[in-house]
Amino acid sequence: MQFNWGKRKPHCHIRGPFCHREAETRDRAIDELLEFIWNLRENGVSDVADLQREASDPEARNILSYMEQEGLFAREGDKVYLREKGEEKAREIIRRHRLTERLLMEIFELSEEEAEKEACKLEHILSPEVTDSVCTFLGHPPVCPHGKPIPPGKCCTAPEKSVKPLVMPLNDLDPGAEGRIVFISTNFPARLDKLSALGVAPGSIIKVRQKKPSPIIQVGETTVAVDPEIIHDIYVKAV
Amino acid sequence: MRKRGKNRGMESKDINRKSTKKIILVGNPNVGKSVVFNYLTGKYVVVSNYPGTTVEVSHGTTKWRGKNITVLDTPGVNSLLPTSEDEIVTRNILLNEKDALIVQVADAKNLRRSLLISSQLSEMGLPFLLVLNMEDEARERGIKINYQELYSLTDARVISTVATQKKNLEKITEELGDLREATLNISYPPALEEAISQIAEFLPEENISPRSIAIMLLSGDKSLKRWLHARLPESRINEIEAIRRSCQAGFDQPISYLINQVRLEKVDEIVRLVTMIKPIKRKRLSTRIGELSVHPFWGVVILIGVVYLLYQVIGVFGAGVAVDFMEKTVFGEYINPFFMRWTGRLVPMAWLRDLLVGQYGLLTMAMTYAFALILPIITFFFIAFGLMEDSGYLPRLAVMSNKIFRLIGLNGKAILPMILGLGCATMATLTTRILESKRDRIIVTLLLALGVPCSAQMAVIFGMLSGFSPMMVVLWAGVVGLVLAVVGYLAARYLPGESSDFVLELPPIRLPRIGNILIKTLSRIEWYLKEAVPLFALSTFILFIMDKTGILINIEKGASPLIKGVLGLPVETTQAFLIGFLRRDYGAAGLLALARAHTLSAEQILVALVTMTLFVPCLANFLVIVKERGWKIGAAISGFILTVAFTVGGLLNLILKITGFKI
Ligand SMILES: [Zn+2]
Ligand SMILES: [Zn+2]
Ligand SMILES: [Zn+2]
């Protein structure tokens, strides 16, 4: 199947909606179109014209009409809107896409471009369980790295006590509670050197003594005052 | 001088070969290194800057095997892969001092970080003695170390001490005769090991092992650049860089960070095997005080209390009682009359008499000034500063002020030079090195020169303001504070470069040791006498020349339109401003004299004081800025400050005139 996906740089919200690679299945194509409609809506536009421009070749048109028949979206005048079924599906795709972005960019420290590429693959294949684990692992982040909202899943609305995130920024640890450092995400190598020379490195048991007026962390008998950004960059697992 | 280039045998060093042997103390900050140093060296200590840097290194001598040998106290380090100027200096000392006896002073309750340094010494192939100090504090916290096990695991000579009680310190010199290399060697992942051995092959045999230097180079240590260029051809250096790059390409994380992690893992393994911790539930009082001092509410209360105490000790007692006594009694009644009498008798030439004891006399003006006015204030300041330093309060002050400094794009560490600036801006400018980024150093240097009044100047200012309503103090402090905030904010915004991270270790709160503080104060006073007094003499001499040649009068005439027109002040104040360049507080004192003679209105005094506080840095400070930051920045800072001072003074004058505000 051949689609004209256009030459737009793929991105979760800025410009085009589509993943750069060619979709191989109809399901995948449907996903992409739903994602597109969702993104359009977020940007405040939902013209049929836009949709038609994106799916300009016959094959894509076929899919669009199939989707309409299936009750995924509807047209009203020159506007498109998602119907209940489509809304649900789009929501999940967007959620998977943006959670993956976060995982890849922040934890695996992939570049934006690489992360986007991978997110586009993974958004179609992640199972709901894995998605929720990723969400929990990341501490139920409300937005993607670009600041766009991540639709919450079941895991996010569950009572907080029952599902403690596996890994969370040190900032989310209660003062006095201990956590084991899983990784430190930062773009400043000098900061990593300084912290690890003080014994603040993956594997160490750490606690936040206070967060205000300035965060103070403690590793063993070492007490260090740091900038607030730093405790956002240290990810821990509660122990 | 010692011979260079001699290869060190791999086995053991011939300890008795040279008489120029040195003992070098290394260790983390706040582990009691200086107490051990003071114990070894006794009273006489020389603090000097390490060549080419502003980092202080203390030297002293001790008796060892019947001979006097030098003891060197290096700056505290957290890693010998340097991330700060202090760490570069310590690493360089280890790199350059051949056949030294190395003593690693370490915190027994923080074995983990201690062994992190030990592992690096071991990697360097340097024999050392591990002194696990503060054994009492470790015990209080329920930490027990199995020294036998530690020795058998690492081969490092270990002794445990309580330096503050002189417990076991005599063992240090006893053990020094029998140092050996520890076997705390760490193996890194194969890809790293391969690169390390590739690089090590290019390196010459040195005082420290090629392997350790290779690890530093692989970690991207730029501070070895000069060392490298002196030893290897350009092509080799490029080859090393190529190896480093291709090795780094195989890892997501910086190599230095990986290496540190591997070291930590190994160290953690040892720590697990040799320590037993019985957690002690009871909170010690010092911990409680430490917590309160950084508490969002109580921290502020304590801060205010500390500031009030500082004011009482330095402002009221130092600048008031002590200065009065020195100036009026010691110098006024004895020293100056004595000099005048004897110069009158012994010196026939009138000009020379004038130079020595005249209005701008070296003895009457410069010495009185240096010893009677500044010395008492600065002495009390150094004592207070030493107390804050040794009690562990100073870094907590940085925690309390981090938020405020972040507003103007700096971080809490900036408070440390600023506080010191209240004692002497010149000295404070030297301590801006605790800030990591060049940009932050420049900003703080600028703020110090612009508007942080030194204790002497402050004393004179308070003297002038004391006759008026508190409104005057509020207005003066408000205007100066506002200017500092605005300039700081703009400088942080528009100066290129990165701001430095706020990562500051908080040592435990401790009761300061008076002996230690006195030694520190004495060495700082010695610094002041050596650095600042010649500058006073020079300033006075320049004034003397300018007075005799008539330049002074001419400058006064030239500047008077500015003074009169812009600031709305009488012409006589010109001289005060002129002198103000030589010593800012000299200038303030000139204003004080005019104020006493009732030639100035309250509003004029306010304008004059604000302008004088913001006025160009004093000569000494200016010279230090030039020394630290170079001519360009020195001149730029001075020009900028001069403009700001007169603009603000002029605006203030204008506003007061237009609104007809009366104080
Ligand atoms: Zn996609
Ligand atoms: Zn995104
Ligand atoms: Zn969730």
Q: Which of B12-26, B525-539, B570-584 shows the lowest mean pLDDT across its residues?
A: B12-26
- Contact between B257 and A204 using a beta-carbon 8 Å cutoff: no
What ipTM does this complex have? 0.80
Q: Which of A108, A193, A209 has its CB closest to that of B83? A: A193
Alpha-carbon Rg for chain A, nearest whole angstrom, is: 21
pLDDT digits (tens, 9 = 90+) for B597-609: 777 788 888 888 8
pLDDT bucket at B113, cuts 50 / 70 / 90: very high
Q: Is B579 a residue whose pLDDT tops 80? A: no
- The predicted-structure confidence for A185-237, as pLDDT tens digits, reads as follows 777 777 888 898 899 988 889 999 988 888 999 998 899 999 888 888 898 88
| pLDDT tens-digit readout, A166-198 | 778 888 888 888 998 988 877 777 788 889 889
% of chain B surpassing 70 pLDDT: 93
Say whether pLDDT at B111 is over 50: yes
Residue with tokens 């690089």: B199
**pLDDT > 70 fraction of chain A, expressed in percent and rounded:** 86
Instruction: Give yes or no for a contact between B102 and B127, defined as CB atoms under 8 angstroms apart.
Output: yes
Lowest-confidence region among B39-48, B135-144, B410-419: B39-48
* Cβ A98 vs Cβ A150: under 8 Å: yes
Specify whether the CB–CB gap between A166 and A216 falls below 8 A.
no
On the question of pLDDT at A4 being above 50, the answer is: no
Counting ligands in written order, the one closest to the CA of A141 is 3
Residue B126 has pLDDT above 60, yes or no: yes
User: For residue A239, what are its two tokens?
Assistant: 């122990």
Query: What digits encode the pLDDT tens for the residues B650-663?
Result: 999 999 888 877 76
Please report the pLDDT score of residue A65 as a whole number: 84
- pLDDT digits over B426-480, tens only? 778 877 877 777 888 888 989 988 888 876 677 677 777 766 777 888 888 899 9
Angle at B61 (CA atoms; ends B55, B66), nearest 5 degrees: 155
- Any alpha helices (H) in B408-469, and if so which ranges? 415-421, 425-431, 438-451, 455-465
The mean pLDDT value for B161-185 works out to: 85
Judge whether residue B120 has pLDDT over 90. Answer: yes
Return mean pLDDT, chain B.
Answer: 83
pLDDT of residue B105: 95
* Ligand closest in space to the Cα of A125: 1
Closest residue in B to A192 (Cα–Cα) = B257
Q: Is the pLDDT of residue B2 over 60?
A: no
Alpha-carbon distance of B419 to B18, in angstroms, equals 45
> How many Å apart are CA B200 and CA B192, to the nearest integer?
12
Residue identified by tokens 């000494």 is B620
**Is residue A10 pLDDT above 50, yes or no?**
no
Highest mean pLDDT of the ranges B6-20, B117-131, B578-592: B117-131
Residue of A108, A196, A224 lying closest to B260 (CB–CB)? A196
Closest to A205 in 3D by CA, of A239, A231, A172: A239
Are β-strands B56-64 and B46-49 bridged in parallel, bridged antiparallel, or unpaired? antiparallel
For residue B598, the tally of other CB atoms under 10 A from its CB is 7
Give me the pLDDT at residue B103, please: 94
What pLDDT shows up at residue B130?
93
* Residues linked to residue B277 through DSSP beta bridges, in sequence order: B143
As a whole number, the mean pLDDT across chain A is: 79
Q: Give the list of residues 6+ apart from residue B301 with CB closer than 8 angstroms, or none.
A: none
**pTM, full prediction:** 0.72
CA distance A201 to chain B (A): 7
Chain B hits for A201, CB-CB cut-off 8 Å, are: 257, 260-261, 264
pLDDT value of residue A3: 35
**What integer pLDDT is reported at residue A203 of this predicted model?**
85
Instruction: Report how far ligand 2's centroid is from the alpha carbon of A233 (Å).
Output: 19
Is the minimum CB–CB distance between B269 and chain A shorter than 8 Å?
no
Confidence of residue A24 (pLDDT cuts 50, 70, 90): low
Residue B330, classed as helix, strand or coil, is helix
Residues B373-390 have a mean pLDDT of 84
In this complex, is the C-beta atom of B49 within 8 Å of any C-beta atom belonging to chain A?
A: no
**Separation of CA A98 and ligand 3 centre (Å):** 12
Residue B424 has pLDDT above 60, yes or no: yes
Chain A neighbors of B411, CB-CB under 8 A: 227
Cβ-proximal residues to A116 (8 Å cutoff; 6+ apart), any chain: A10, A11, A12, A101
Nearest to B26 by CA among B74, B69, B71: B74
Which of A193, A213, A225 is facing B506, going by the closest CB pair? A225
In this prediction, residue A21 carries a pLDDT of 44
- Whether residue B1 is predicted with pLDDT greater than 50 in this model: the reply is no
Inter-CA distances, B319 with A50, A205, B386, B437, Å: 78, 49, 18, 35
Q: What pLDDT digit, counting tens, does each position of B475-522 carry? A: 888 999 899 989 988 888 888 877 778 888 898 888 888 888 888 888
Mean pLDDT of B614-638: 83
| B266: number of Cβ within 10 Å | 18
Question: Please, what's the b/e burial string for A171-210 (b: 16 or more CB within 10 A of its CB; e: otherwise)?
Answer: bbbeeeeebebbbbbbeebbbbbbbbbbbbbbebebbbbb
The answer for residues whose C-beta is within 8 angstroms of residue B403's C-beta and 6 or more apart is: A213, A214, B412
Mean pLDDT of A78-90: 87
Structure tokens at B323: 């200065």
B119: confidence class by pLDDT, cuts 50, 70, 90 = very high
The predicted structure's pLDDT at residue B45: 67
Q: For B277, which DSSP code?
A: E
> Does the pLDDT value for residue A6 go beyond 80?
no
pLDDT tens across A133-149, in order?
888 888 788 888 887 88
Q: For residue A96, which ligand has an atom nearest its CA?
A: 1
Asked if A213 lies within 8 A of B505 by C-beta distance, the reply is no
Q: What angle do CA A87, A92, A96 make, to 5 degrees?
A: 150
Please indicate whether residue B145 or residue B431 has the higher confidence score (pLDDT).
B145
What's the pLDDT score for residue B124?
92
pLDDT at B574 over 90: no
The mean per-residue pLDDT over the stretch B241-248 comes to: 91
* Nearest CA-CA distance, residue A220 and chain B, Å: 7
